Amino acid sequence: MPGEIDVEDVLRRVPGWSDDSQIIGYIEGGMTNRNLRIEINGEHFVVRLPGRNTQSLEIDRQIERIANERATALGFAPEVVTLIEPEECLVTRFIDGEALLPTDFSDSKVIHQIAAMLRAFHNSPPLAHDFNAFDVPRLHCAAAVGLGVPIPDAYQRVSAIVDEISKAFEASPEALKPCHNDLLIANFLKEGPKIWLLDWEYAGMNVPSFDLANLAVNVALTPEAEVELLEAYHGSVTHQNLARMRLMKIMSDARESMWAVVQQGNRPHDFDYAGYASKHFDRLIANAGARGYRSLLEAAAATE
């Protein structure tokens, strides 16, 4: 838990830092960890203080560091300074950018830039950690049970929906690639025309269509913008890749809802995790009950 970490001791162990580092304060946002802004010799950094029991969320801090370093090399993530052990505090450079707004995602240049970023990361070498969209809801359920959290009745229906979508993807498998897996709007910053992608803690091997759908659902892309994202990423839109994106929007809600169930046991912040889970359960079940859902399953399973 962040409160149990001796921040001053962590700062003393950052290689090359002197004792005159100055704590500027906590950065707003974040539903799992706390992020501390530090100034030293006129330069600014971020020290991530991990939340309680984050391994229950399928987070691997070593993989987070590797993924962040890789994205830095690709040109769109802040530089990693170090990972302080055993607290697993990741230290990165501070990006003095502006938050992206939902309206930014109506800009074709933004869509194309993010598609290129995701494609570059997806095409990088494998990571030694899985974050498989079809496994994560089940793993989160087991973690919640271990924490003594009651599993909502809605999970039974959700589990059946996950199985249906999983079978459709198994019929025409999509290769696992390194993915970010947490494309919330808060994880993007803009600095002039440049876009930065932050928070690589959920990075792992997953199907790329999850990242595209996770972005689409989290930033509320219009249907037209979803098509543009697919065109920018794949070069063309097919019945299959469109169906996979739309099914993975449902899977994104499965992950998000069960993440919130686990967090009811971890309680890293004063937040209505039960309400958050319920919202995503409701949207997921509604989308899986919508007209056209069965056609999406058929299109995703087809061999093209």
pLDDT tens per residue, range 135-172: 999 999 999 999 999 999 999 999 999 999 999 999 99
Average pLDDT score over residue span 23-37: 85
Between 9 and 200, whose confidence is greater? 200
| Best CA proximity match to 206, nearest among 130, 137, 258 | 130
pTM of the complete model beyond 0.85: yes
How far apart CA 44 and CA 200 sit, in angstroms, is 19
pLDDT tens per residue, range 110-130: 999 999 999 999 999 999 999
Helix (H, G, I), strand (E, B) or coil at 118: helix
Residue type, 97: G
Instruction: Name the band, by pLDDT with cuts 50, 70 and 90, for residue 303.
Output: confident
Instruction: Name the band, by pLDDT with cuts 50, 70 and 90, for residue 217.
Output: very high
Q: CB atoms < 10 A from the CB of 103, how many?
A: 8
* Contact (Cβ atoms closer than 8 angstroms) between residue 19 and residue 97: no
Task: Give the per-residue pLDDT at 1.
Answer: 40
- Copy the structure tokens of residue 43: 């330069």
| Best CA proximity match to 176, nearest among 233, 222, 124, 228 | 124
- Copy the structure tokens of residue 71: 């994205």
Peptide bond into 86 cis (omega under 30): yes
Average pLDDT score over residue span 11-23: 83
How far apart CA 141 and CA 40 sit, in angstroms, is 42
Q: Residue 207: pLDDT above 60? A: yes
| Best CA proximity match to 302, nearest among 168, 166, 164 | 168
Task: Give the per-residue pLDDT at 184.
Answer: 95
Helix (H, G, I), strand (E, B) or coil at 175: coil
Burial label for 82, CB within 10 Å (0-12, 13-18, 19+), is middle
pLDDT tens per residue, range 272-290: 999 999 999 999 999 999 9
Task: Give the per-residue pLDDT at 304.
Answer: 61
How far apart CA 19 and CA 10 sit, in angstroms, is 11
Between 113 and 5, whose confidence is greater? 113
Between 4 and 244, whose confidence is greater? 244
**Sequence-distant (≥ 6) Cβ neighbours of residue 10 within 8 angstroms:** 47, 84, 87, 89
pLDDT tens per residue, range 223-273: 999 999 999 999 999 999 999 999 999 999 999 999 999 999 998 778 899
Instruction: Name the band, by pLDDT with cuts 50, 70 and 90, for residue 16.
Output: confident
Q: Residue 44: pLDDT above 80? A: yes
Average pLDDT score over residue span 66-95: 97
How far apart CA 29 and CA 16 sit, in angstroms, is 28
Q: What is the CA radius of gyration of the chain?
A: 19
Could you tell me the domains of the chain? 2-93 (3.30.200.20), 98-301 (3.90.1200.10)
Q: Residue 19: pLDDT above 80? A: no
Let me know how long the chain is. 304
Rounded-to-5 percentages of helix, strand, coil across the chain: 50, 15, 35
